[in-house]
Amino acid sequence: MIKKDSIKRRNTYQRQLILEILKSTTAHPTADWIYEQARKEIPNISLGTVYRNLKILKEEGLIIELTDGKQSRFDARIDNHYHFKCEKCGSIYDIEPEDIEINHSLEFKGFSIDTVDVNITGVCSKCNGENA
């Protein structure tokens, strides 16, 4: 019983740590990056544990997984927003909904929209040499 409790506590701690790491960045990191950060706190944590906890956090609706079919990136920002991926440096930026005009004319044609999935790619301001 005591052992079961301590395992539960450990799992909760690991999951909480992974969530905190993800909340501390806006860089939309990979599981590998999160793993490297988590190891600073828990040196013996495994990459598999990180993956498992990311999956649970996603199922709980606490994080979002962004995937381009090749690589998954993760985001602890769960309110409605979009992403811009730079084709030069691979950075992913948050885009506010008000910066994109979604055409709702479909709704007037009788279609009901459940989700809007917008894929924005291009070159970011840093790569364009316009970094402030």
Among 93, 92, 82, smallest CA distance to 116 is for 82
Q: Which stretch binds Mn ion (CB under 5 A): 13-21, 44-52, 91-99, 112-120?
A: 91-99
- Return the residues of window 56-75 that contact Mn ion according to CB under 5 A: 75
Give the footprint of Zn ion on this chain (CB under 5 A): 86, 88-89, 91, 124, 127
Give which of Mn ion, Zn ion, none residue 22 binds (C-beta under 5 to 8 Å, depending on kind). none
- Helices (H), strands (E): how many in the chain? 4, 5
77 binds Mn ion (CB under 5 A): yes
Among 108, 96, 128, 44, smallest CA distance to 120 is for 96
Give which of Mn ion, Zn ion, none residue 9 binds (C-beta under 5 to 8 Å, depending on kind). none
Give which of Zn ion, Mn ion, none residue 36 binds (C-beta under 5 to 8 Å, depending on kind). none
Angle between helices 31-41 and 47-59 (to 10 degrees): 110
Cβ contact 17:61 at 8 Å: no
Kindly list the residues in this chain that would bind Mn ion in the complex (CB under 5 A).
Answer: 75, 77, 94
